[in-house]
């Protein structure tokens, strides 16, 4: 759990940047990395993003510290109470506390999205590097497969896969991971192609290094920046995709579970009756998490380009 939430926190991104090569010949590069980190820490967008995401990670880890009410606990105020002193963010049609449900609802989305993203980035990076370095017919075939998968909207593909294999959490993680691989592969592949043309790859080849060594130890370190950007950008999309799947009812077995997407779908129809709080607040939670992750992604991207 803590591992996965670290990703959401952007900590993984940081540690990735911290872990520069140690050999002295690369100290110049280290210097650049440090400069980039300084730019990153000073950008208000990054700090704001970390603050938002950090709050939700905290909520996912220790929800009971943020609320004394359980997600399925009937509060005294009764059902459909407006936000106020009795219940901060009001209560829903079941008489459950909206604030408590939002705090507890952070966990499912913060389990699925980071794990799925990490899996997709690992597989996509490996595939992209290998395809970009070796090229040839395998690359041609896989590129066509990628184009075919990308031709159907991800959410539609996800619905079909979840429909076929059931709506358990592992299936959802696997589905999001698999569906994200093509786009990541394509990005890394084009970067690997560009790197493969450079002199250092040629000299490694002439030293007689194996292809695996060149891909793993020569090209990979030079595309880590891109990998980190992909990781954060895709994390935003994963949150997006999971929330949409939950809204459409393809997540979990129980519609009473605390989950932002499910809560929106269960309550949005009451908006027209002016009971807006049970659906708008979880919707704000979803929006804030996605925007937080995107702020981090954008600042990392800018820092790497600075």
Partner 1 sequence: MQVTESLGLRDSVATQLSNLSVSVVTLDFGESFSVATGEPVMSLVWKAVANSAKLVILSLLVIVPVSILGGLVAAYKKDSWIDRLIVNTGLAFSAIPDFVAGVFLLAFLAVPFDFFKVQASAPPGSGPLIQIQHLLLPVIAVLMVYFGYIARITRAGTITALDSDYARTAFMRGLSTGRVFRKHIARNALQPTVAVLGTQLGYLFGGMVALEIVFGYQGVGNLIIRAVDRADYPVLRAGVLTVAIIYMLATLGADLLVAWMNPRARQTLGDN
Residue 264 engages partner 1 in binding (rule: CB under 8 A): yes
- Are the C-beta atoms of residues 278 and 90 closer than 8 Å to each other? yes
Residue 286 engages partner 1 in binding (rule: CB under 8 A): yes
Task: Give 185-188 contacts, CB < 8 A, sequence gap 24+.
Answer: 185/124, 185/127, 185/128, 185/131, 185/142, 185/146, 186/128, 186/143, 186/146, 186/150, 187/124, 187/128, 187/226, 187/230, 188/124, 188/125, 188/127, 188/128, 188/129, 188/132, 188/223, 188/226, 188/227, 188/230
Locate tokens 């880890």: which residue?
61
Task: State the nearest-atom distance from the C-beta of 247 to partner 1, in Å.
Answer: 5
Locate tokens 């510290």: which residue?
65
Residue 247 engages partner 1 in binding (rule: CB under 8 A): yes
Judged by CB under 8 A, how many residues of this single chain contact partner 1?
Answer: 30
Part in contact with partner 1 (CB under 8 A); list of ranges 80-88, 93-101, 194-202, 279-287: 279-287
Tokens matching residue 160:
């079909």
Part in contact with partner 1 (CB under 8 A); list of ranges 5-13, 26-34, 179-187, 291-299: 291-299
Part in contact with partner 1 (CB under 8 A); list of ranges 12-20, 78-86, 94-102, 238-246: 238-246
Residue 298 engages partner 1 in binding (rule: CB under 8 A): yes
Tokens matching residue 72:
């399925």
Cβ–Cβ contacts within 10 Å for residue 206, how many?
8
Q: Which of 62, 141, 287, 306 binds partner 1 (CB under 8 A)?
A: 287
> What would the x/- binding string for partner 1 be over residues 141 to 180, using CB under 8 A?
----------xxxxxx--xx--x-----------------
What distance in Å separates the CA atoms of residue 119 and residue 103, rounded to the nearest whole number? 26
Contacts to partner 1 by CB under 8 A:
151-156, 159-160, 163, 236, 240, 243-244, 247-248, 264, 268, 271-272, 274, 276, 279-280, 283, 286-287, 290-291, 294, 298
């Amino acid at each position: 759990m803590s591992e996965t939430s670290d990703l959401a926190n952007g900590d993984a991104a940081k540690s990735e940047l911290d872990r520069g090569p140690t050999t002295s010949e690369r100290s110049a590069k280290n210097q650049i990395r440090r400069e980039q980190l300084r730019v990153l820490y000073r950008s208000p967008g990054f700090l704001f993003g970390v603050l938002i995401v950090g709050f939700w990670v905290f909520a996912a880890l220790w929800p009971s510290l943020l609320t004394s009410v359980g997600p399925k606990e009937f509060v005294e105020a009764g059902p459909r109470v407006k936000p106020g002193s009795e219940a901060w963010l009001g209560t829903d049609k079941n008489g459950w506390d909206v604030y408590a449900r939002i705090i507890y609802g952070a966990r499912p989305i913060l389990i699925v999205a980071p794990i799925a993203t990490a899996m997709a980035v690992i597989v996509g990076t490996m595939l992209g590097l290998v395809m970009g370095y070796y090229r040839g017919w395998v690359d041609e075939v896989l590129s066509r497969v990628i184009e075919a998968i990308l031709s159907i909207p991800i959410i539609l593909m996800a619905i079909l896969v979840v429909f076929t294999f059931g709506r358990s959490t592992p299936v959802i993680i696997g589905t999001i991971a698999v569906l994200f691989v093509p786009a990541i592969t394509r990005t890394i592949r084009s970067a690997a192609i560009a790197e493969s043309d450079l002199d250092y790859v040629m000299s490694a080849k002439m030293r007689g290094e194996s292809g695996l060594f060149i891909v793993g130890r020569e090209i990979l370190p030079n595309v880590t920046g891109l990998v980190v950007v992909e990781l954060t950008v895709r994390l935003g999309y994963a949150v997006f995709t999971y929330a949409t799947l939950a809204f459409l009812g393809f997540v979990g077995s129980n519609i009473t579970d605390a989950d932002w997407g499910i809560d929106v779908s269960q309550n949005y129809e009451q908006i027209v009756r002016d009971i807006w709080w049970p659906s708008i607040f979880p919707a704000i939670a979803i929006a804030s998490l996605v925007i937080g992750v995107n702020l981090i992604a954008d600042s990392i991207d800018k820092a790497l380009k600075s």
